[in-house]
């Protein structure tokens, strides 16, 4: 079972260097051994996803997506993922500071699988990352990659 | 002194004085002229009649006699005159000569004027041309019919009548001036009653509410007593105050939402500071020496403290801006909750708590806010207390449409000089290592109480204790 879990690769789309590092550390702390690809803006994320479609990059089992991103907005990235045959089944967890109702509705309408508001306290933030990891990697059954 | 600075009553009185004096002067002159003209016409008519009568008398001697008799009775002098007098008594004077020359040349047969003699007496002079007729020819066959023979001249006294008229004119003037003065008195009195006094009352009210606004108190509308301009002024003032307070409110809200977003933005880097310090301590704690670890602890605790401060600031900015669930709030329940949350300190300090029986219910209030009031005051009462047995008393009094609550302690108290300061945000009377705290608590309590339309104050004797009083309406508006 651990093999299935550790085989899942994750795409983290996050523009804040601090948040990237804190997230990576939290993942590492829980010691599940997943490989994490980081995209620092929307364009980088799209580029990675296109490589996945071409088979040049590994197929991620989970995408953590920030909303407010430089160059290409998180919403656009989400729209792209959910409109592509190869990508649309990948669970997408929105991880953002926005509590805006319109943002939340738009994301779910576009097919986001979860919407999480980034806790502002360090402790809560660590706790949240741990919960995401436990639920989406361990508990949740991902779709089979063909 | 500037005319603009005079009171409205005086201005009105002045304006009316000018108008009335103008009208009365014009009126007097018109009346005077009318009277004078009718007087002139009277004399003229009389002179004509006399002249007509005189012409009818044919005997010259008789004419002279009638004329002198007439003068004695009426004061009217009558005389016949000629350019070539047979009788020297009939010689013309200057005026008569001139007029007769005029009669000769022009086709007029009558002339009158008012003349002033050298001694200043005025006379009405009337001259009527005499032409040769058939009867004249019978005595003077060398005359020709229609030839100017001379004239009848009437000299009538004029001065006396003019004097009488002047007297009349004077009476008219005096009457008009008396009328003016009485109108002025009435106008001045009325202007005071219907303009000055209500305006002064309005000014007093406006100044009163200006003072209240300055003190930051809730201001009621100024009473609108009439629908006239003064009433409109009062309404306009009320509208001005309302729109000012609304714009102030909007600005305040903008500032608070700015504080909110700033506080929110400050927390993100704070999370990184705390996060990486924690990571450093956890991941590399083994390789760090005691001092390094201690410094990291200080960084983490400072970051946490700043986090608390920002949280409190966020909470402070939410009061009155964010509406929480409203309903009947049972104060007894809220106080019990606040005591429970302070139970650690209560037990640690072995404090004695005395609560009034049957604390009231506040209608349409936010439970969370009422709780914040009590928990902050209780926590302060415990914190600033170095007695062996700290005592806290919580009670209230019914004051009609509001309740007066108090939280009394036997703590260290404070100097009443700092009374206003202790309610200001971030204001502290003690060093942080003496008594922990951020300086937001009392400011928050004050803000909640004031948002609910209440007041808060405190009484204290250093070393003996403090009592915090605050009022809350029985039913919160809005």
Q: What is the mean pLDDT of residues B181-208?
A: 84
pLDDT confidence band for B372 (50 / 70 / 90):
very high
Kindly determine whether residue A125 and residue B275, on different chains, have CB atoms separated by under 8 Å: yes
Residues of chain A with a CB closer than 8 angstroms to some CB in chain B: 16, 18-19, 21-22, 25, 97, 120-122, 125-126
Kindly determine whether residue A125 and residue B278, on different chains, have CB atoms separated by under 8 Å: no
Which positions in chain A touch B271 (Cβ < 8 Å)?
18, 22, 120-122, 125
Strand partners, A94: A65, A115
Kindly determine whether residue B267 and residue A121, on different chains, have CB atoms separated by under 8 Å: yes
| B4 vs A93: CA distance, rounded Å | 75
User: Quick check: A146 pLDDT over 70?
Assistant: no
pLDDT confidence band for B335 (50 / 70 / 90):
very high
Structure tokens at A79: 């729209």
The closest CB to that of A25, out of B268, B279, B303, belongs to B279
- pLDDT for the residue numbered B160: 65
What is the CB neighbour count within 10 angstroms for residue A60?
26
Which of B271, B307, B314 should one mutate to test binding to chain A, selecting the residue with the greatest count of A CBs within 10 A?
B271
Structure tokens at B279: 């990571």
| Contact of B149 with B1, CB cutoff 8 Å | no
Per-residue H/E/C for A24-80: HHHHHHHCCCCEEEEECCHHHHHHHHHHHHHCCCCCCCEEEECCCCCCCCHHHHHHH
Closest Cα in chain A to B268: A120
Which of B272, B308, B322 should one mutate to test binding to chain A, selecting the residue with the greatest count of A CBs within 10 A?
B272
Which alpha helices (DSSP H) does B57-133 contain, by range?
60-74, 94-105
- pLDDT for the residue numbered A145: 66
Closest Cα in chain B to A24: B279
- pLDDT for the residue numbered B162: 64
| B348 vs B387: CA distance, rounded Å | 13
| A80 vs A74: CA distance, rounded Å | 10
Of B100, B110, B106, the closest CA to residue B52 belongs to B110
B/e letters for B267-306, b = 16+ CB within 10 Å, e = fewer, are: beebbbbbbbbbbbbeeeeeeeeeeeeeebeebbeebbeb
B/e letters for A119-142, b = 16+ CB within 10 Å, e = fewer, are: bbbbeebbebbeebbeebbeeeeb
Which residues lie below 8 Å from residue B67, measured CB to CB, with a gap of 6+?
A: B54, B77, B78, B79, B80
More confident residue, B435 or A42: A42
| Digit-coded pLDDT (tens) for B402-426 | 999 999 999 898 888 888 888 888 7
Structure tokens at A130: 């741990």
User: Quick check: A2 pLDDT over 60?
Assistant: no
Of B312, B297, B271, the closest CA to residue A124 belongs to B271
Looking at CA atoms only, how far is residue B263 from chain A in angstroms?
Answer: 11
| B188 vs B191: CA distance, rounded Å | 5
Looking at CA atoms only, how far is residue A19 from chain B in angstroms?
Answer: 8
Of A106, A95, A93, the closest CA to residue A140 belongs to A93
B/e letters for B245-263, b = 16+ CB within 10 Å, e = fewer, are: eeeeeeeeeeebeebbeeb
| Contact of B115 with B197, CB cutoff 8 Å | no
- pLDDT for the residue numbered B395: 93
Roughly what angle, to the nearest 10 degrees, separates helices B367-383 and B441-451? 140
The closest CB to that of B307, out of A22, A121, A126, belongs to A121
Kindly determine whether residue A25 and residue B271, on different chains, have CB atoms separated by under 8 Å: no
Closest Cα in chain B to A21: B276
- pLDDT for the residue numbered B405: 95
Which positions in chain B touch A97 (Cβ < 8 Å)?
268
| Digit-coded pLDDT (tens) for B13-56 | 788 778 877 887 787 788 778 877 887 888 888 888 888 887 77
Average pLDDT, chain A: 89
- pLDDT for the residue numbered B305: 85
Phi and psi (nearest 5°) for B398?
Answer: -80, 125
| Digit-coded pLDDT (tens) for B222-246 | 888 888 888 888 888 889 888 988 8
| A29 vs B45: CA distance, rounded Å | 137
Looking at CA atoms only, how far is residue B308 from chain A in angstroms?
Answer: 10
More confident residue, A99 or A134: A134
Q: Count interface pairs A-B at CB distance under 8 A.
A: 32
User: Quick check: B477 pLDDT over 70?
Assistant: yes
- pLDDT for the residue numbered A46: 95
Phi and psi (nearest 5°) for B471?
Answer: -110, 145
Pairing of strands B352-355, B326-330: unpaired
| Contact of B405 with B395, CB cutoff 8 Å | yes
| B306 vs A15: CA distance, rounded Å | 25
| Contact of B472 with B363, CB cutoff 8 Å | no
Q: What spatial distance separates the first Cα and last Cα of chain B, rounded to whole Å?
A: 52
Of B21, B23, B31, B17, the closest CA to residue B169 belongs to B31
Of B415, B396, B424, B430, the closest CA to residue B461 belongs to B415
Phi and psi (nearest 5°) for B431?
Answer: -65, 150
Cα distances from A7 to residues A32, A36, A94, A141, B438, in angstroms, run 10, 11, 22, 13, 49
Closest Cα in chain B to A25: B279
| Domains along the sequence of chain A with CATH | 2-139 (3.40.50.2300)
Of B456, B373, B463, the closest CA to residue B410 belongs to B463
Kindly determine whether residue B276 and residue A22, on different chains, have CB atoms separated by under 8 Å: yes
Structure tokens at A136: 């989406």
Closest Cα in chain B to A98: B264
| B126 vs B124: CA distance, rounded Å | 7
- pLDDT for the residue numbered A135: 92
Kindly determine whether residue B271 and residue A21, on different chains, have CB atoms separated by under 8 Å: no
Closest Cα in chain A to B276: A22
Q: What is the mean pLDDT of residues A111-122?
A: 89
Cα distances from B8 to residues B198, B229, B232, B298, in angstroms, run 12, 14, 18, 73
């Amino acid at each position: 079972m651990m093999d299935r879990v550790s085989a899942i690769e994750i795409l983290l789309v996050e523009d804040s260097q601090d948040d990237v590092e804190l997230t990576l550390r939290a993942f590492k702390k829980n010691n599940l051994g997943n490989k994490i690809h980081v995209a620092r803006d929307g364009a980088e994320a799209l580029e990675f996803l296109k490589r996945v479609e071409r088979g040049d990059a590994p197929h991620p089992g989970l995408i953590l997506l920030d909303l407010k991103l430089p160059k290409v907005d998180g919403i656009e990235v989400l729209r792209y993922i959910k409109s592509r045959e190869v990508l649309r089944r990948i669970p997408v967890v929105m991880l953002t500071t926005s509590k805006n109702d319109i943002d939340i509705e738009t994301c779910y309408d576009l097919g986001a699988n979860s919407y999480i508001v980034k806790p502002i306290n360090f402790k809560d933030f660590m706790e949240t990352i741990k919960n995401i990891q436990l639920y989406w990697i361990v508990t949740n059954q991902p779709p089979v990659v063909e | 002194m500037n005319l603009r600075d005079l009171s409205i009553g005086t201005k009105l009185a002045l304006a009316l004085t000018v108008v009335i004096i103008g009208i009365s002067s014009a009126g007097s002159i018109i009346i005077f002229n009318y009277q004078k003209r009718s007087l002139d016409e009277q004399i003229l008519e009389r002179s004509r009649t006399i002249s007509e009568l005189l012409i009818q008398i044919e005997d010259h001697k008789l004419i002279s006699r009638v004329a002198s008799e007439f003068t004695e009775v009426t004061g009217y002098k009558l005389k016949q005159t000629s350019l070539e007098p047979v009788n020297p008594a009939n010689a013309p004077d200057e005026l008569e000569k001139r007029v007769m020359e005029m009669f000769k040349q022009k086709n007029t047969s009558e002339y009158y004027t008012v003349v002033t003699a050298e001694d200043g007496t005025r006379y009405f002079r009337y001259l009527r041309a005499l032409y040769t007729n058939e009867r004249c020819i019978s005595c003077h066959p060398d005359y020709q019919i229609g030839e100017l023979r001379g004239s009848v001249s009437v000299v009538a006294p004029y001065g006396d009548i003019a004097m009488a008229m002047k007297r009349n004119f004077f009476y008219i003037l005096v009457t008009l001036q008396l009328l003016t003065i009485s109108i002025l008195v009435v106008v001045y009195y009325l202007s005071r009653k219907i303009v000055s006094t209500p305006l002064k009352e309005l000014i007093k009210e406006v100044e009163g509410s200006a003072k209240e606004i300055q003190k930051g108190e809730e201001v009621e509308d100024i009473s609108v007593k009439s629908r006239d301009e003064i009433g409109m002024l009062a309404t306009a003032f009320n509208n001005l105050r309302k729109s000012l307070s609304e714009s102030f409110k909007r600005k305040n809200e903008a500032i608070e939402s700015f504080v909110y977003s700033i506080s929110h933005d400050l927390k993100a880097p704070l999370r990184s500071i705390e996060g990486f310090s924690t990571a450093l301590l956890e991941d590399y704690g083994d390789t760090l020496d005691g001092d390094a670890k201690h410094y990291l602890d200080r960084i983490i605790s400072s970051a946490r403290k700043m986090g608390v401060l920002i949280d409190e600031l966020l909470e402070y900015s939410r009061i009155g801006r964010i509406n929480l669930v409203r309903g009947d709030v049972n104060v007894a329940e809220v106080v019990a909750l606040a005591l429970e949350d302070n139970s650690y300190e209560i037990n640690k300090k072995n404090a004695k708590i005395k609560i009034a029986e049957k604390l009231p219910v506040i209608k349409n209030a936010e439970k969370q806010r009422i709780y914040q009031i009590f928990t902050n005051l209780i926590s302060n009462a415990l914190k600033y207390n170095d007695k062996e047995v700290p005592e806290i008393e919580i009670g209230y009094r019914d004051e009609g449409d509001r309740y007066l609550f108090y939280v009394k302690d036997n703590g260290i108290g404070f100097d009443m000089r700092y009374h206003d300061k202790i309610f200001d945000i971030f204001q502290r009377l003690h060093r942080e290592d003496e008594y922990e705290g951020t300086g937001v608590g009392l400011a928050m309590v004050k803000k909640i109480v004031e948002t609910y339309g209440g007041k808060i104050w405190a009484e204290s004797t250093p070393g003996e204790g403090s009592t915090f009083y605050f009022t809350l309406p029985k039913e919160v508006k809005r």
